Amino acid sequence: MSSTPHLPPVATIAQKTVVDMLAVGKRVDDRGLNDFREMKLEIGPIERACGSALINLGKTKVMVGVKVEEGEPFPDTPDEGVLTVNAELVPLASPSFEPGPPNENAIELARVVDRGIRESKAIDVKQLCVQPKRKVFVVFVDVYVLDHDGNLIDASSIASLAALLSAKMNEYEVENGEVIYRPELRTLPIQNHPVAVTLAKIGRSLVVDPSLDEEQVMSARLTVVSDKDGRICAMQKGGAEALSVEEVKQGVAIALSRAPEIRSRIMEAVKT
Amino acid sequence: MNRQEEPVELINENGLRIDGRRLDEFRPIKMKVGVLDKADGSAYVEQGKNRILIAVYGPREAHPKHIALPHRAVLRCRYHMAPFSTPERKSPAPSRREQELSKVIREALEPAVLSEYYPRTTIDLFIEVLQSDGGTRCAGITGASLALADAGIPMRGLVAATAVGKIAGQIALDLSDAEDKQGEADMPVAIMPKSNVVTLIQMDGGLTHEEFERGFDIAVKTCHTIHEQQKAVLKERYLAIKEEVEGKSESTKGEEE
Amino acid sequence: MVAPGEILAEGRYLSGENTHREGERVYSSRVGVVEIVGDRLGVIPLKGPYIPHVGDVVVGRVVDIAMSGWIVDIDAPYPALLPASETFGHRGPRGRVDLSRIFNIGDLVVSEVLAFDRTRDPLITAKGPGLGKIASARIIQLSPTKVPRLIGRKGSMISLLKKGTGANIIVGQNGIVLVSGKSPDSENAAIRAIRMVEREAHTRGLTDRIQAMLRTRIRGE
């Protein structure tokens, strides 16, 4: 059952500052309304994973690990590999995260990141088939939130793409339905680059990449995931208040305009 | 029943869909309120093969006490699908999808409820999908608004919801399950027509910016249409009684004179 | 008749019961009938929860015995507290009497709301004329929104029912009504009449129809 959340006690003075400043078009950290925070992407910090990426988006830190393993296909897609995304809001990341199975926020986070990757067909899953109906490769994308300072969705989505792009698995041959691995490494069959851009509505303003302070005063948020051709592949409105019809259209337009720059930052980081 | 999904022609040569609808037609909705005895408010919605029962309990004392908020009611929402609701039996345990939908549906209705009237209480909303065929979260939201109003909970307005999608390259309204599975995009939208605000929007698939704007406008317009039906359904019981007895009094008065 | 979110008026009107204002417009907050008193717009709701008001007489059921009183379910979103000091006989010759001797769990109590605000649960009293434990009665539950109609202007409707059926009727503002009569017949007649008021509260000509129905009953005896 989903329940109206208890918001952690925030100094109302801090909240008021965010709102007051936005009323005159300024953000507390001096960013433009459409600007992302400073982003740092570290590729491959976890050697044991097939792929990994650590993102610092402002003070938000998210680690994503990618693992590829042999598994069974789903019955309705017998010749396709499987993608599965999980997210953990680890207790050390925030005073408001509690240990336990993923709660609705972790589940929503995982499912939105999943939709971005899946609907953009970022992974060419047909190339991950070993033997139809019997054996395919399963790509596990595990999102591990380490420090919550707002906008976990975008941070997770960016780091997931970086981890997938830089992931390596062994070259392999299929013999009699079994996988024979070779020592050389290959990348995963990635054919699209989905990027999430989230906007928060505060007062009458829409701001891109909300920090935690901004999230705590926002009335609603809108996430738009777009691919390398500018097609929208996923959207998610969140928050307990509403967006006007105009604000939704505006938000989509802003998100589509900001995604390409983020995409090229990811590609750059992965290349090096 | 295990079925291999065979690709079906989503739009035939006459421009009609599998169930004979045109692209811009939504499945007619049957709405009823006050269908459950024990609940404070209730509604039943039928749309295509969808059968959804919604109950509201509250405002009521918060149990356990610590979940209560000091200045407003806590809204709790559970979206759940019955094991027999889908072609293949679904496990009764709440799936990740049901958990996500419980959250987005709650967030779709929060803006409509004047929760400040009942501090330290909970308003519990239960959406049970008895049979599903695509678009259950939308039908659920439409019905939940009815159930909340039926319970007499003060609201800013009603919320109506519908989904638009893309099938065989064309924008289509209110996708059925088969159309969603084989289609290229699905976008559920919930609107509070009173102030024309969006309380839910999600999307998965692939839409160009232009397709999104076109589909979104169609969804908004459709929600306004559904809203007219919601208002009528809420009043019809009482108007029927009014007609029945006021008509009768007029005639009995005539007889006695 | 209006539904939540429907516009009632624009401009200089006051937003009354069950309405809300947004900018220049007044909207209905519930399903109900519009009532205009001067420039104040209100909506008489058809259904809704009971919110206690000081002075309300309510019928409740004891659900728990606490240290200094009883917790009473008055069918409201908040449980009511009946302090021991608000009953008779809570002090015996040897100090505090065992509270369960006065009211036990499950007892029906008619009480009056002493205090209530949204930050605390309602406080009720059983000291007063007509208040206290009810040994037995038929219990009818209605939406509290129908109570004003059931009582009628200056009690006219409820007097009509009492006289017309010979039954004793206690109406709680919380929608719980107790009926006890000398015969099951008189009780049933009262219950039928109460249900008719409940069903037709929002219509015109109700008093006439109730009178007609009670006359038929008397003639029938």
**Inside any domain, residue A94:** yes
**Inside any domain, residue C118:** yes
Q: Could you give the CA distance from residue B116 to residue C132 in angstroms, rounded to a whole number?
A: 33
Mean pLDDT of C142-171: 92
Q: How many domains does chain C have?
A: 3
pLDDT score recorded for residue C219:
57
pLDDT score recorded for residue C110:
96
Question: Are the beta carbons of A8 and A95 closer than 8 angstroms?
Answer: yes
Residue A98: which domain range? 25-271
In chain C, which residues have their Cβ closer than 8 Å to the Cβ of B147? Answer: none
Task: Give every CB contact of residue A53 below 8 A, 6+ residues apart in sequence.
Answer: A41, A42, A43, A44, A45, A63, A64, A159, A160, A162, A163, A166
**Inside any domain, residue A5:** no
Chain B residue with minimum CA distance to A3: B76
Q: Could you give the CA distance from residue B240 to residue C157 in angstroms, rounded to a whole number?
A: 23
> What does the block give as tokens for B232?
């009528």
Whether C156 and C173 share a structural domain? yes
Strand partners, C64: C71
pLDDT score recorded for residue B257:
36
Nearest to A249 among B5, B110, B213 (CB): B213
pLDDT score recorded for residue B2:
42
**Out of B11-20, B106-115, C79-88, C185-194, which region has the weakest mean confidence (pLDDT)?**
B11-20
Whether C148 and C94 share a structural domain? no
Q: How far is CA A36 from CA A28, A30, A93, A197, A257, in A?
A: 13, 11, 21, 9, 12
**Inside any domain, residue C26:** yes
pLDDT digits (tens, 9 = 90+) for C15-74: 899 999 998 999 999 999 999 998 899 999 989 999 999 999 999 999 999 888 999 999
Whether C122 and C186 share a structural domain? no
Counting CB pairs under 8 A, whether chains A and C reach 3 or more, is: no
* Residue B62 C-alpha, separation from nearest chain C C-alpha, in angstroms: 9
pLDDT digits (tens, 9 = 90+) for B119-138: 999 999 999 999 999 999 99
**Inside any domain, residue A237:** yes
Q: Could you give the CA distance from residue A202 to residue A218 in angstroms, rounded to a whole number?
A: 5
Q: Could you give the CA distance from residue C168 to residue C179 in angstroms, rounded to a whole number?
A: 6
Helix (H, G, I), strand (E, B) or coil at B135: coil
**Inside any domain, residue C143:** yes
Q: Could you give the CA distance from residue C141 to residue B37 in angstroms, rounded to a whole number?
A: 12
Angle between helices B136-150 and B209-256 (to 10 degrees): 40
In chain B, which residues have their Cβ closer than 8 Å to the Cβ of C29? Answer: 114, 154-156
pLDDT score recorded for residue B249:
52
Task: Return the percentage of chain B with pLDDT > 70, whole number.
Answer: 93
Neighbours of chain B (3+ CB pairs under 8 A): A, C
**Inside any domain, residue B109:** yes
* Residue B249 C-alpha, separation from nearest chain C C-alpha, in angstroms: 7
Q: Which of B115, C170, C218, B203 is nearest to A233 (CA)?
A: B203
Tokens 């960013």 -> residue: A31
Enumerate chain A positions whose Cβ falls within 8 A of a Cβ in B: 1-4, 6, 75-76, 102, 104-105, 107-108, 110-111, 115, 118-120, 222, 227, 230-245, 247-249, 252-253, 256
Helix (H, G, I), strand (E, B) or coil at A164: helix
Q: How many domains does chain B have?
A: 1
**Inside any domain, residue C50:** no
Angle between helices B209-256 and A245-271 (to 10 degrees): 150
**Inside any domain, residue A18:** no
Check A4 against B110: CB less than 8 A apart.
yes
Q: Which of A80, A79, A97 is nearest to A88 (CA)?
A: A97
pLDDT digits (tens, 9 = 90+) for B44-96: 999 999 999 999 998 999 988 889 999 999 999 999 999 999 988 999 999 99
Counting CB pairs under 8 A, whether chains B and C reach 3 or more, is: yes
**Inside any domain, residue A4:** no
Q: How many domains does chain A have?
A: 1
In chain C, which residues have their Cβ closer than 8 Å to the Cβ of B239? Answer: 1
pLDDT score recorded for residue C5:
95
Q: Which of B188, B191, B135 is nearest to B160 (CA)?
A: B191
Pairing of strands B29-33, C108-117: unpaired
Residue B53: which domain range? 29-250
Mean pLDDT of B178-199: 96
Reported as a pLDDT band with limits 50, 70 and 90, residue B254 is: very low
Whether C166 and C123 share a structural domain? no
DSSP E strands, A25-177: 39-43, 51-57, 60-71, 82-89, 129-131, 135-147, 168-175
pLDDT digits (tens, 9 = 90+) for B85-106: 998 899 999 999 999 999 999 9
Whether C94 and C124 share a structural domain? yes
pLDDT at B13 over 80: no
pLDDT score recorded for residue C220:
55
Residue C66: which domain range? 57-134
Question: Are the beta carbons of B106 and A2 closer than 8 angstroms?
Answer: yes
Nearest to A248 among B99, B110, B201 (CB): B201
**Inside any domain, residue A41:** yes
Q: pTM above 0.90? A: yes
Enumerate chain B positions whose Cβ falls within 8 A of a Cβ in C: 40-41, 58-61, 70, 112, 114, 118-121, 149-158, 192-195, 230-231, 234-235, 238-239, 241-242, 245-246, 248-250, 252-253
pLDDT at B216 over 60: yes
pLDDT at B255 over 60: no
* Residue C92 C-alpha, separation from nearest chain B C-alpha, in angstroms: 34
Which residue among C134, C160, C189 closes a domain?
C134
pLDDT score recorded for residue A15:
80
Q: Could you give the CA distance from residue A65 to residue A108 in angstroms, rounded to a whole number?
A: 18
**Inside any domain, residue A11:** no
pLDDT at C92 over 80: no
Task: Return the percentage of chain A with pLDDT > 90, whole number.
Answer: 87
Q: Which of B74, B82, B76 is nearest to B53 (CA)?
A: B82
> What does the block give as tokens for C93?
């010759």
Nearest to A1 among B78, B192, B202 (CB): B78
Question: Are the beta carbons of A113 and A141 closer than 8 angstroms?
Answer: yes
Q: Could you give the CA distance from residue A112 to residue B203 in angstroms, rounded to a whole number?
A: 10
Q: Mean pLDDT of all residues in chain B?
A: 91
Task: Return the percentage of chain C with pLDDT > 70, whole number.
Answer: 97
Q: Mind spelling out the 3-state secondary structure of C60-78?
A: EEEEEECCCEEEEECCCCC
Q: Which of B18, B202, B191 is nearest to B97 (CA)?
A: B202
User: Dihedral of the CA atoms B226, B224, B171, B19 (nearest 10)?
Assistant: 20
Side-by-side strand order, sheet with C168-171: C138-141, C176-180, C168-171
pLDDT score recorded for residue B243:
85
Q: Which of B131, B134, B191, B132 is nearest to B17 (CA)?
A: B134
Residue of B153, B197, B199, B251 to mutate when probing chain C, most C C-beta within 10 A: B153
Task: Give every CB contact of residue A143 below 8 A, 6+ residues apart in sequence.
Answer: A62, A63, A64, A85, A86, A87, A88, A109, A110, A113, A156, A159, A160
pLDDT score recorded for residue B252:
47
pLDDT at A201 over 60: yes
Question: Domain of A98: which CATH number?
Answer: 3.30.230.70
pLDDT digits (tens, 9 = 90+) for A98-134: 999 999 999 999 999 999 999 999 999 999 999 999 9
Question: Are the beta carbons of B204 and A233 closer than 8 angstroms?
Answer: yes
Helix (H, G, I), strand (E, B) or coil at A53: strand
Residue of C119, C203, C216 to mutate when probing chain B, most B C-beta within 10 A: C203
Task: Give every CB contact of residue B176 below 8 A, 6+ residues apart in sequence.
Answer: B18, B19, B27, B48, B49, B133, B134, B135
Nearest to B149 among C3, C143, C145 (CB): C3
**Inside any domain, residue B7:** no
**Inside any domain, residue A244:** yes
Neighbouring CB atoms inside 10 A of B12's CB total 11
Check A104 against B110: CB less than 8 A apart.
no
Angle between helices C156-165 and C206-220 (to 10 degrees): 10
pLDDT at C209 over 70: yes
Q: In chain C, where does DSSP find H-type helix? A: 147-151, 156-165, 184-200, 206-220
Q: Could you give the CA distance from residue B149 to residue B40 in angstroms, rounded to a whole number?
A: 10
Residue of A191, A232, A233, A254 to mutate when probing chain B, most B C-beta within 10 A: A232
Q: Which of C139, C144, C142, C193 is nearest to C164 (CA)?
A: C193
> What does the block give as tokens for A166?
């830089």
**Inside any domain, residue C41:** yes
pLDDT digits (tens, 9 = 90+) for C57-87: 999 999 999 888 999 999 999 999 999 999 9
**Inside any domain, residue C52:** no
Chain C residue with minimum CA distance to B241: C200
pLDDT at A10 over 80: no
Chain A residue with minimum CA distance to B96: A107
Rg of chain A on CA atoms, in Å? 19
Counting CB pairs under 8 A, whether chains B and A reach 3 or more, is: yes
Residue-wise over B123-134: b if at least 16 C-beta within 10 A, else e?
bbbbbbbebbbb
pLDDT score recorded for residue B7:
65
Question: Domain of B65: which CATH number?
Answer: 3.30.230.70
Angle between helices C184-200 and C156-165 (to 10 degrees): 150
Q: Could you give the CA distance from residue A263 to residue A190 in angstroms, rounded to a whole number?
A: 14
Nearest to C5 among B59, B119, B158 (CB): B158
Chain CA centroid to CA A260, Å = 15
